[in-house]
Structure 1
């Protein structure tokens, strides 16, 4: 979708929760979207994931977290 909108600098990164190190330079990312994953992690795993995200985010970068979608969160659930 991003490329169809002319956005060429968006790179999806998919990791497993046990892979704590993200292979990116420190302070190299403007925005991190963390959606639908935290509820799968233990508290220590969440803490370590946040620490790694903090490491790769640029100063003033944006972290957007959506903890878990539920059926009622979907647009059709509100009709």
Structure 2
């Protein structure tokens, strides 16, 4: 599903942004979370391989590389 389709459909679809560096992930998460929350998200995804709040999932795929998965309501996390 494309980002546009997921955003148009609301919560009906999920999209992913792959190969995010830690710095790029921090920038994108800053649209929705505080710096303290972002540190916790990255720590949790590093320790447990995945973090979610039920709407967004962050998966660490390699040291320093992440995948962000979210529905279309989180466009600033997913869009380029």
Query: Which one scores higher on RCO, CA 8 angstroms, separation ≥ 6?
Result: 2
Higher strand share: 2
TM-score after normalising by structure 2:
0.30
Higher helix share: 2
TM-score after normalising by structure 1:
0.30
